[in-house]
Chain A
Amino acid sequence: MDFVNTTIERTTVQLSKADFESDQMVKWCPGCGAHAILAAVERVFPKIGYRKENFCMISGIGCSSRFPYYVNTYGIHGIHGRAAAISTGVKIANPRLSVWMATGDGDSLAIGGNHFIHVIRRNVDINILLFNNQIYGLTKGQYSPTTPMGKVTKTSPQGTIEHPFNVGELVMGAQGTFYARVPDNNITMMTEAMFEAAKHDGTSIIEIMQNCIIFADKAHNDVIGKEHKDENMLLVKNGQPMTWGKNNEKGLILKDTMLEVVEIGINGVTADDILIHDAYNQDPGIHLMLAKLAPPHFPMVFGVIRSAMFPTYDDMVEEQIKYAKENSKIRNVDDLLNSGDVWDIK
């Protein structure tokens, strides 16, 4: 519970879920994964401990982006793809706000791709909830930048011919400092990742494998579905060996330069051989490898994959302003107007 960031004022009263429930009717489809994400947010915000007036929720356009209307915070429902840019302005202008962003795979990886990589590169201290349902839902079922290649959608009747983005790979390519992947069917896992994101100073990306029940139902089921998760989901925790399986019998080791799946007790492999997860490592090498793992030969990795400490953009803005204020001779606009070559006419 130790927060490095002391900029944001903490609440003096115990907040609860009710403090963040909005009076608006939630209009997502019944069975949509977004309902669970909303529940996780309402659960984690009181735990974070900031004053409720210090939360600000920003979104773009799409199903995910109706989010600000459903949480009782300050917020802006923006325009398509631009939530990262709006959030950046909010955070730079007022670093005392805890800025959260709700976005989707279309919103942030297609039309907003530019803002997405640049907010990450700058490490602006905002928390991005990326609802990845691999489809355009609000426009009714066109393929998105994360739709698997070959998938038939309304705009790809013969199957897509595009290579999808791997979100974790994109985040690390953009020098991301925090990346977590969570399933929408596990509120506890989502809540934990959101809490870690809140603690992290810098841009936090939480990729939520979200189900669109109407246009891409069960898109993630082969990994996160009840019958598959033991086999295909590896939940990493910092400082813990990376194991999974029904009886935690499988593990990852690093062989030469590659990750490899081993089974404890077979070929002399012991629990001590298993790679320990180091989320705080500044080097993203292993984090990138973890983000890219996928069935059938590997599990898909969940949890906080990367949480590295780097200076944040907004902190550096404040430092430069502080320095300038302490060192400049120009302290107000009258000083500025009268600086340099001026002369009097009498």
Chain B
Amino acid sequence: MPHTKRQIVEKESVVVKFVGDSGDGMQLSGSVFSDSAALAGNDLATFPDFPAEIRAPQNTVAGVSGFQVHMGSEKIFTTGDMVDVLVSMNPASLRANLKWAKKGATILVDTDAFDEKSIEKAGYKQNPLEDHSLEAYHMIKAPITAMTKESLKELGIDNKTAERSKNMFALGILYFIFNRDLKMAFNYFEERFKKNPKLVEINKVAIQAGYNYADTVEALESVIQVGAAKMPKGRYRNITGNTATAWGLLAASEKSGRPLFLGSYPITPATEILMELAKHKSLGAKVFQAEDEIAGICSSIGAAYTGSMACTTTSGPGLSLKSEAIGLAVMTELPLIIVDVQRGGPSTGLPTKSEQSDLMQALFGRNGDGPVIVIAASTADNCFNYAYMTAKLSMEHMTPAILLTDGYLGFGSALFRIPKMSEMPPINPPIAKANDKDYKPYKRDAETLVRQWALPGTDGLRHRIGGLEKENITGVVSMDPMNHQVMVDLRAAKVEKIADVIPDQEIDGNKKGDLLVVSWGGTYGAVHSAVKKAQSEGKSISHAHFHYISPLPKNTEKVLKGFKKILVCELNSGQFVNYLKMKFPLPNFHQFNKVQGLPFMINELNDKFNQILEEK
């Protein structure tokens, strides 16, 4: 039912944010809206922004929940710095989010929510809708609550249920503004609420009423058209980073033939991986919700010993608790996949906000010299590939491996080009053969230094492993000083040799120049966009974004040495830059750090690039 009455304004990309009270259904509005954008062919990235409390006090700034969608007819790399369209369901959400609205942004507000008490609770001295403070914006002031109730009168539902549907009325207005087909929303409701036909009807009526309202109201002179993006051919879906991580693990399990075992404990923002894998018992996934983080990883070590592709998922505080057990996995040289969805720290820190401050913990947070593989995903969709690669390298090289993602990636979504399992790289764990007379627990492949995986139940391979240092080859407990030296060196060399099989570090831009911008993990989108902008301005600047952190790609030093200056940008106080300095003591490292629980803004990155380029 696209309309033609209004003038259509074409845009390459638009950022929309839905904000309201925690109970206002903003996450649902955002999900429906972004699904429609995806089906209309836009590239997109989304991010939910919600408080650490489940239901913070109503109508306070602390209780504001949001969902941001960045959609475009061009490739989308970030969830967007500043907002073009803000949908605000109460005064507190307006107050908390106005700073993210571009000047001239369209702001849709529910005027019914701007009563005296709510205005005061939000911390406003007077009604912002009446004091001319919003004159720089294109305001659509609609009595959303009242009209929603009115539209649902016929359905004979109670007042509360009717009021709760105001998010769908508001969404109807958005569908009109973006010239979207309501059918896409209808299909979503039918699928999502298929067990409750009444709910399907309520949502349909509410969204239709909002759409009709927008069609008649004069505040809207034009509608926005975001065309289909030119994406590579293929089949697509929208996916969050946590789901992509879970699916990448399932894919690695299927490919390797090793059954998936997950021992995990709920922790924000990693819990969704546990919940997602718990759904897929039909693929043989054994998911054990343990009594604590330590039991999560220790059960996984037990499962790994028996030949499962064993995983544990957590966030920073949980990784701390798992430290000793990671050491056991290092010592026993068992494959173990540890996913750390990073959040703001230290301690409980900022559970729902994102940070990259677990890097040093992942690399070194153990007693003794305990090298592990560390890999970082950089987009919500490539969490799939990097989870897969983490599992592949862990099993093929018989060593624990840590995958770092973060809350921003985990909760955020992006379009995912669906791979075919037949095209995924093979995974061949070194499983010992029954009755192999030469089997010894710590006998190693001469090339890779990898020991064999002898599975309990197999004839002729009974052996014991454990946390005590073992004699090289035989695996007998050994306190011999020289043997310990040999084993420490071997464990390090085994991980270092993985550099032989991972791809070289890529450079976006020239291989030589004034400035190399280095980043890793979830900051890719923002840093990439900022570098592109600087490059388009003719600056001598290139970008190296790292996914493989331990070991580093073989050409890392060569990459770094091609530039006069190196600027390492990360959401911590300088962990990767110090790691690089330790490995490659070059004189020209600079750093840009931010620890606000927020992603980098493209503008602040460009400002920093310019500053570093100008410094003598």
User: Which residue numbers of A lie inside 8 Å of B, CB to CB?
Assistant: 22, 24, 51-54, 56-59, 61, 68-69, 72-79, 82, 84-94, 96-97, 114-115, 118, 317, 320-321, 323-325, 327-328, 330-334, 336-338, 340-346
Contact of B418 among A69, A118, A342 (CB under 8 A): A342
Interface string of B279-315 (1 = CB under 8 A from A): 0111110101011101100111111111110100000
Minimum distance in angstroms from A293 CB to a CB of chain B: 30
Interface segment among B120-128, B214-222, B457-465, B573-581: the answer is B457-465
B residues 421-465 in Cβ contact with A at 8 Å: 421, 456-465
Minimum distance in angstroms from A150 CB to a CB of chain B: 32
Given contacts A85-B295, A89-B298, A89-B306, 17 further A-B contacts (CB under 8 A): A53-B460, A77-B467, A86-B301, A86-B302, A92-B288, A93-B286, A93-B308, A115-B291, A118-B291, A333-B250, A336-B247, A337-B237, A341-B237, A342-B418, A343-B236, A344-B235, A345-B41
Please, which residues of chain A bring their CB within 8 A of the CB of B232? 345
Across the interface, name the chain B residue whose C-beta is closest to A73. B462
Q: By the criterion CB–CB under 8 Å, are A92 and B286 in contact?
A: yes
User: Assuming A53-B456, A333-B421, is B466 touching A78 (CB within 8 A)?
Assistant: yes
A295 to B376 CA separation, bound complex (whole angstroms): 61
A142 to B460 CA separation, bound complex (whole angstroms): 41
Q: By the criterion CB–CB under 8 Å, are B247 and A56 in contact?
A: no
A199 to B113 CA separation, bound complex (whole angstroms): 66
B254 at the binding interface (Cβ < 8 Å): yes
Across the interface, name the chain B residue whose C-beta is closest to A317. B286
Q: By the criterion CB–CB under 8 Å, are A79 and B467 in contact?
A: yes
Interface segment among B97-105, B324-332, B506-514: the answer is B324-332
With a 10 A CB-CB cut-off, give which of A22, A59, A343 has the most chain B CB atoms: A343
- Offer 6 A-B interface pairs, CB within 8 angstroms, sorted by A: A76-B464, A79-B325, A79-B327, A85-B294, A85-B298, A97-B457
A53 to B456 CA separation, bound complex (whole angstroms): 7
B39 at the binding interface (Cβ < 8 Å): yes
Minimum distance in angstroms from B417 CB to a CB of chain A: 9
Please, which residues of chain B bring their CB within 8 A of the CB of A74? 305, 456-457, 461-464
A325 to B463 CA separation, bound complex (whole angstroms): 34
User: Assuming A68-B466, A86-B301, is B295 touching A320 (CB within 8 A)?
Assistant: no
Minimum distance in angstroms from B261 CB to a CB of chain A: 5
Minimum distance in angstroms from A327 CB to a CB of chain B: 8
Q: By the criterion CB–CB under 8 Å, are A94 and B281 in contact?
A: no
Please, which residues of chain A bring their CB within 8 A of the CB of B132? none
Q: By the criterion CB–CB under 8 Å, are B235 and A343 in contact?
A: yes
B231 at the binding interface (Cβ < 8 Å): yes
Contact of B247 among A53, A97, A327, A333 (CB under 8 A): A333
User: Assuming A341-B237, A343-B38, is B299 touching A86 (CB within 8 A)?
Assistant: yes
Interface string of B565-601 (1 = CB under 8 A from A): 0000000000000000000000000000000000000
Q: By the criterion CB–CB under 8 Å, are B288 and A342 in contact?
A: no
Q: By the criterion CB–CB under 8 Å, are A114 and B292 in contact?
A: yes
Minimum distance in angstroms from B314 CB to a CB of chain A: 15
Please, which residues of chain A bring their CB within 8 A of the CB of B324? 79
Across the interface, name the chain A residue whose C-beta is closest to B302. A89
Please, which residues of chain A bring their CB within 8 A of the CB of B332? 76
Minimum distance in angstroms from B472 CB to a CB of chain A: 17
Q: By the criterion CB–CB under 8 Å, are B281 and A324 in contact?
A: yes
Q: By the criterion CB–CB under 8 Å, are A345 and B466 in contact?
A: no
Minimum distance in angstroms from A96 CB to a CB of chain B: 6
A334 to B286 CA separation, bound complex (whole angstroms): 19
B160 at the binding interface (Cβ < 8 Å): no
Number of interface residues of B (CB under 8 A): 68
Across the interface, name the chain A residue whose C-beta is closest to B324. A79
Minimum distance in angstroms from B471 CB to a CB of chain A: 12
B234 at the binding interface (Cβ < 8 Å): yes
Please, which residues of chain A bring their CB within 8 A of the CB of B261? 89, 92-93
Q: By the criterion CB–CB under 8 Å, are A69 and B477 in contact?
A: yes
B209 at the binding interface (Cβ < 8 Å): no
Minimum distance in angstroms from B84 CB to a CB of chain A: 25
Please, which residues of chain A bring their CB within 8 A of the CB of B281? 320-321, 323-325, 328
When A and B form their complex, which 4 residue pairs have the shortest distance between CB atoms, in order from nearest? A77-B466, A89-B302, A89-B299, A328-B282
Q: By the criterion CB–CB under 8 Å, are A345 and B459 in contact?
A: no
B residues 22-60 in Cβ contact with A at 8 Å: 35, 38-39, 41
B residues 231-264 in Cβ contact with A at 8 Å: 231-238, 247, 250-251, 254, 259, 261, 263
A70 to B217 CA separation, bound complex (whole angstroms): 83
A85 to B321 CA separation, bound complex (whole angstroms): 14
Please, which residues of chain B bring their CB within 8 A of the CB of A73? 462, 464
Q: By the criterion CB–CB under 8 Å, are A341 and B39 in contact?
A: yes
Q: By the criterion CB–CB under 8 Å, are A79 and B328 in contact?
A: yes
User: Assuming A88-B288, A89-B310, A343-B38, is B420 touching A334 (CB within 8 A)?
Assistant: yes
Please, which residues of chain A bring their CB within 8 A of the CB of B143? none
Q: By the criterion CB–CB under 8 Å, are A24 and B235 in contact?
A: no
Across the interface, name the chain B residue whose C-beta is closest to A87. B302
Across the interface, name the chain A residue whose C-beta is closest to B39. A343
A94 to B286 CA separation, bound complex (whole angstroms): 11
Please, which residues of chain B bring their CB within 8 A of the CB of A56? 306, 456
A85 to B289 CA separation, bound complex (whole angstroms): 11
User: Assuming A114-B291, A115-B291, A324-B282, is B468 touching A77 (CB within 8 A)?
Assistant: yes
Minimum distance in angstroms from A205 CB to a CB of chain B: 17
A86 to B467 CA separation, bound complex (whole angstroms): 13
Please, which residues of chain B bring their CB within 8 A of the CB of A323? 281
Interface string of B330-353 (1 = CB under 8 A from A): 001000000000000000000000
Please, which residues of chain B bring their CB within 8 A of the CB of A52? 462
Contact of A90 among B35, B238, B456 (CB under 8 A): B456
A302 to B20 CA separation, bound complex (whole angstroms): 64
Interface string of B257-282 (1 = CB under 8 A from A): 00101010000000000000000111
Minimum distance in angstroms from B34 CB to a CB of chain A: 11
User: Assuming A85-B295, A342-B418, is B283 touching A77 (CB within 8 A)?
Assistant: no
Minimum distance in angstroms from A59 CB to a CB of chain B: 8
Minimum distance in angstroms from A75 CB to a CB of chain B: 4
A84 to B324 CA separation, bound complex (whole angstroms): 16
B419 at the binding interface (Cβ < 8 Å): yes
A99 to B263 CA separation, bound complex (whole angstroms): 18
Q: By the criterion CB–CB under 8 Å, are B295 and A92 in contact?
A: no
A92 to B457 CA separation, bound complex (whole angstroms): 14
Q: By the criterion CB–CB under 8 Å, are A89 and B288 in contact?
A: yes
B96 at the binding interface (Cβ < 8 Å): no
B476 at the binding interface (Cβ < 8 Å): yes
Across the interface, name the chain B residue whose C-beta is closest to A96. B457
Minimum distance in angstroms from B458 CB to a CB of chain A: 6
Please, which residues of chain B bring their CB within 8 A of the CB of A75? 463-466
Across the interface, name the chain B residue whose C-beta is closest to A82. B298
Please, which residues of chain B bring their CB within 8 A of the CB of A53? 456-462
Q: By the criterion CB–CB under 8 Å, are B306 and A93 in contact?
A: yes
Across the interface, name the chain B residue whose C-beta is closest to A116. B291
Q: By the criterion CB–CB under 8 Å, are A115 and B295 in contact?
A: yes
A77 to B476 CA separation, bound complex (whole angstroms): 12
Across the interface, name the chain B residue whose C-beta is closest to A81. B294
Across the interface, name the chain B residue whose C-beta is closest to A323. B281
Across the interface, name the chain B residue whose C-beta is closest to A94. B306
Across the interface, name the chain B residue whose C-beta is closest to A318. B286
A56 to B463 CA separation, bound complex (whole angstroms): 10
Please, which residues of chain B bring their CB within 8 A of the CB of A78? 298, 301, 328, 466-467
Minimum distance in angstroms from B185 CB to a CB of chain A: 12
A148 to B536 CA separation, bound complex (whole angstroms): 77
